[in-house]
Amino acid sequence: MSHTFTLAHLSDVHLAPLPPFTLRHWNVKRVLGYLNWHRGRRSVHSRDVLDRITADVAAQKPDHIAVTGDLVNIALPGEYVAARAWLDALGAPGDVSVVPGNHDIYTHMGGDPGCDRWAPFMRGDVDASAPPGQEPTFPYVRVRGRVALIGVNSSVSTPPFVAAGIVGKPQIARLATLLADLEAERLFRVVMIHHPPLPGLAPPSRGLEDAADLERVLLRHGAELVLHGHNHRDMLSWRDWRGGRFPVLGIASGSASRPHHGEPVARYNLVEIAERDRGFVMRVRSRGLDATGGQVIDLPRQPLGLGVVATYRAQ
């Protein structure tokens, strides 16, 4: 990699406002979600704020953009259409990688394609030319330069009051193979998932049911970076494997107009990756709304510490 590869990471944009919908879309979970939206989230997630954040992303000219889920709110057909339009404005499918969140696979769709409308943004390189209507397969892999982006789906439809996820044995087994193969190619491996992928990072009703199984695969095969969303907070955990240490990095919502239950205002991360001395050097910068909620600035508290640079050496 002859230049620094910059990856922008956005998550949990919860596109507003909710579109109109008819009685045939009502079910218990949507009703509860609708009430929750109007009682709290409607005053938090702002399309104007999101537009300022995404304009700033464009101004930074990243090489690629990762979006780790929760583009919509209560899984209305009109929300998926609006989210597809937002993705198209964000970038071409080959330049934007998406994994779905629990709100994107929220409830029974009654034959509606739901987030399959975003399939071009959720396909690996080998499936890039798949015909319209073909469901994406997870985990998928996209290689950009010396960076391999691996999209894992942790989201399933759940009962009311449950926002938990599960990856499942088939995905975990395929992920293990992919991580080993990509390590052999000496690529910088970025795993993208919606739910926090390690045990204890979210309560059971919101956590990843098979986080322990996923963690075992990550500890065995390693990764250079794991990105997630879901908790609407900046999060950082480290794990050790035979090749060194890797960070598990969560980002807050990209559309929050004000603090809410300890969640900060809108922000995103820029991950700068460069190949050095048979390995990789990574730097992470956070950009988001300033204290007044006005301009988008470099945030003073960086997720990997003040100016800390992480180095990963290929085996």
Residue 109 tokens, joined:
């769709």
The per-residue pLDDT for range 230-257, each reduced to its tens digit, is: 999 999 999 999 988 899 999 999 999 9
Work out the end-to-end distance of the chain between its first and last CA atoms, rounded to an integer number of angstroms.
17
Q: Count other C-beta atoms under 10 Å from residue 285's C-beta.
A: 16
Contact between 100 and 122 under an 8 Å Cβ cutoff? The reply is yes
Q: Look at residue 211 in the predicted model and tell me its pLDDT.
A: 98
Burial of 307 (0-12, 13-18, 19+ CB in 10 A): exposed
What are the tokens at 181? 């193969």
Q: Which residues are registered as beta bridge partners of 136?
A: none
Global confidence as pTM:
0.95
Question: Is the pLDDT at 314 greater than 80, yes or no?
Answer: no
Q: Which of the residue ranges 16-20, 69-73, 111-115, 304-308 would you say has the lowest mean pLDDT?
A: 304-308
pLDDT of residue 118: 97
pLDDT over 90 for what percent of the chain? 76
Q: From 149, 185, 152, 191, select the one nearest 62 (Cα to Cα).
A: 149
- Rounded to the nearest angstrom, the gap between the alpha carbon of residue 233 and the centroid of all alpha carbons in its chain is 13
DSSP H helical segments within the chain, as ranges?
28-39, 47-60, 77-90, 169-184, 211-221
Confidence (pLDDT) at 310? 54
Domains observed in the chain = 10-266 (3.60.21.10)
In this predicted model, what pLDDT tens digit does every residue of 67-79 receive, in sequence order? 999 999 999 999 9
DSSP 254-270: SSBSS-BTTB-SSEEEE
Q: Percent of the chain having pLDDT more than 70? A: 94
Please, is 142 exposed, middle or buried when counting C-beta atoms within 10 Å of its C-beta (0-12, 13-18, 19+)?
Answer: buried
CB contact at 8 A, 155 and 101? yes
Half-sphere exposure of 260 (CA within 13 A, CB side): 19
- pLDDT (mean) for 169-184: 98
* Higher-pLDDT residue of 132, 171: 171
Instruction: Report, as an integer, the average pLDDT of 253-275.
Output: 94
Which of 51, 57, 58, 14 minimizes the C-alpha distance to 36? Answer: 14
pLDDT digits over 86-109, tens only?
A: 999 999 999 999 999 999 999 877
Q: Which two tokens stand for residue 73?
A: 């709110």
Q: Which amino acid is at 112?
A: D
Over the Cα atoms of the chain, what is R_g? Answer: 18
CB contact burial 209-248 (16+ within 10 A = b; e otherwise): bbbebbbebbeebbbbbbbbbbbbbbbebebeeebeebbb
